[in-house]
Amino acid sequence: MAPNARPTVAPPLSPHLQVYRWTWTMLMSILNRATGAALYGGTLLVTIWLVALASGPKAYGAVAWFFGSWIGLLILFGYTWVLLNHMLGGVRHFIWDTGRGFEPNERMALSRLSLIASVALTLIIWAIALLLH
Amino acid sequence: MAQFTLPKNSQIGEGKTWPAPEGAKNVQVFRIYRWNPDDGLNPRIDTYHVDRDDCGPMVLDALIWIKNKVDATLVFRRSCREGICGSCAMNMEGQNSLACTMGIDECKSPDNAVPFLNRKDKDGAIRIYPLPHMPVIKDLVPDLTNFYAQHAAIEPWLQTETPAPEKEWRQTPEDRTKLDGLYECILCACCTTSCPSYWWNGDKFLGPAALLQAYRWLIDSRDENTGERLDALHDPFRLYRCHTIMNCANACPKSLNPAKAIAEIKKMMVERAV
């Protein structure tokens, strides 16, 4: 019997995100989207800092104190990784936009590499910042 | 906004556990999605025990073994058992492929999975679901109406202006090789239903399979409708919902690369604009 000859039952939707395998390309695509969204918050941090800078020593002192606190440093550390991951994701997508890097080993390597590089660059930047401090 | 969770009528419950065959030494557990339109219940997961010593090496062999020896009500599509008809496309251990060309051992040890993020069942069960984010007709059989309509929408046939030649439309061997990796598509829908972009916008985004075929006609040296074909794709959804997630290329059981074909279409769009 054809499906539309039955008394109508709303068909269920087969599971998708709940069951699909996490592959490197999918993970890094989703991380690129997520970090892109998180950058709204990061840009807000920069804006707060600039506004405080323009508003005088008292406001700047307050903001500098917060960014220098443990929670502030943690947020800035996260923001650094978010920014770098999204930037390297942009580079990765730029390479793909030229039609290169689509073979199985290439797309896997590009995805893994951008994750590793974003973590490594974040650590290097913070190591330098803390050493110079 | 995309809905990331399953609607109420689609949430999956625990089903029946079918006993292991008596005297079997080499048992593989399968957890399989079941839904019956006639009983008014939600989908459920049934657990089966397959005697590997009595069963062929492929996932399809195990499904047929279950249907013949354990539970005749299990419903799935299959025909050629050699990867050319595309009927037995389904989601096995989280990835879409053809049950007939996917080995039971092979799908248990994927090489493209991110470690830590992919949970395995403790008993080493192989989990089988219908193709993702599709309306289910019964058990492992999804409704592919929309998928076929999208393939028809890209007008997959030769379109010409010049009068037809007396014999066939000629093509150089070099131009012919441009169709390799494109014409082999068997329309199994593994790629299209693996695509998160298609999950969220399947009504407007054409999806990898239809776009691979669109590119197959765009670069055919004999086709004379390239401009109109590109016009039809120039749309924020039909083509540009592809975000190069590449689940399509990871899933294709024929090792084709829809993601690359889509990138080439995007390049054609840019090239004709400058």
Q: Mind listing the pLDDT tens digit for each residue in B227-261?
A: 999 999 999 999 999 999 999 999 999 999 999 99
User: Are B28 and B135 within one domain?
Assistant: yes
Provide φ and ψ at B116, rounded to 5°.
Answer: 75, -30
Mean pLDDT of A121-127: 98
Record: contact A29-B244, CB cut-off 8 A: yes
Supply the pLDDT for residue A92: 97
Q: Please, are residues B37 and A6 in contact by the beta-carbon 8 Å criterion?
A: yes
Contact between residue B244 and residue A107 where contact means Cβ atoms under 8 Å apart: no
**What's the predicted TM-score (pTM) here?**
0.93
Give the three-state DSSP class for B60.
Answer: helix
Residues B131 and B12 grouped into a single domain: yes
Total structural domains in chain A?
A: 1
Residue B156 CA to residue B187 CA, distance in Å, equals 12
- Residue A100 is part of a domain; what is its CATH number? 1.20.1300.10
Among B140, B113, B121, B110, which Cα is nearest to B28's?
B121
Q: Do A107 and B267 touch (CB under 8 A)?
A: no
| Interface contact A14-B95, CB threshold 8 A | no
- Domain extent, residue B249, equals 145-273
Residue B1 belongs to a domain: no
- Measured distance CA(A53)–CA(A50) in Å, rounded: 5
- A112 touching B (Cβ < 8 Å): no
Picking from A21, A3, A119, the residue whose alpha carbon sits closest to that of residue B132 is A21
Q: Domain for residue A12, yes or no?
A: no
Q: In the predicted model, is pLDDT for residue A1 greater than 70?
A: no
Determine the residue among B92, B215, B245 to mutate to test chain A binding: the one whose Cβ has the most chain A Cβ atoms within 10 Å.
B245
Q: Is residue A16 part of a domain?
A: no
Same domain for B36 and B81, yes or no, is: yes
- Please check whether residues B66 and B88 belong to one and the same domain: yes
Residue A106 belongs to a domain = yes
Given a contact cutoff of 8 angstroms between Cβ atoms, the answer to whether B227 and B268 are in contact is no
Beta carbons of B78 and B99 less than 8 angstroms apart: yes
Same domain, B87 and B183: no
Residue A110 is part of which domain span? 23-132
Domain with residue B112: its CATH number is 3.10.20.30
Distance, in Å, from the CA atom of A42 to the CA atom of B190, rounded to the nearest integer, reads 38
Q: Say what the ipTM of the complex is.
A: 0.93
* Chain B residues in contact with A99 (beta carbon < 8 A): 260, 263-264, 267
Chains A and B form CB pairs within 8 A to the count of: 131
* Domain containing residue B201: CATH number: 1.10.1060.10
Looking at the structure, do residues B149 and B268 belong to the same domain, yes or no? yes
Nearest by Cα to A21 from B93, B140, B38, B141: B93
pLDDT at A3: 56
Query: What residues of chain B score a pLDDT lower than 50?
Result: none
Question: What per-residue confidence (pLDDT) applies to A7?
Answer: 57
Cα–Cα distance for residue pair A130/B214, rounded to 1 Å: 54
Residues of chain B with pLDDT > 70: what percent? 100
- Domain-ending residue, one of B142, B176, B191: B142
Is residue B3, in this structure, part of any structural domain at all? no
Give the residue-averaged pLDDT of A7-31: 93
Residue B161 resides in a domain:
yes
* Residue A11 resides in a domain: no
Task: Tell me which of A21, A91, A94, A98 to substitute to probe the interface with B (most B C-beta atoms closer than 10 Å).
Answer: A21
In terms of domains, do B20 and B133 share one? yes
Q: What pLDDT does residue B144 have?
A: 98
> For chain B, how many structural domains are there in total?
2
Query: Does one domain contain both B126 and B179?
Result: no
Do B17 and B136 share a domain, yes or no? Answer: yes
- Residue A63, in any domain of the structure: yes
Whether B115 is in a domain gets the answer yes
For residues B15 and B130, membership in a common domain is answered with: yes
Q: Rounded to whole angstroms, how far apart are CA atoms B194 and A20?
A: 8
Whether B59 and B171 share a structural domain: no
Task: Among B142, B177, B201, identify where a domain stops.
Answer: B142
Residue that is last in its domain, among B115, B142, B169 = B142
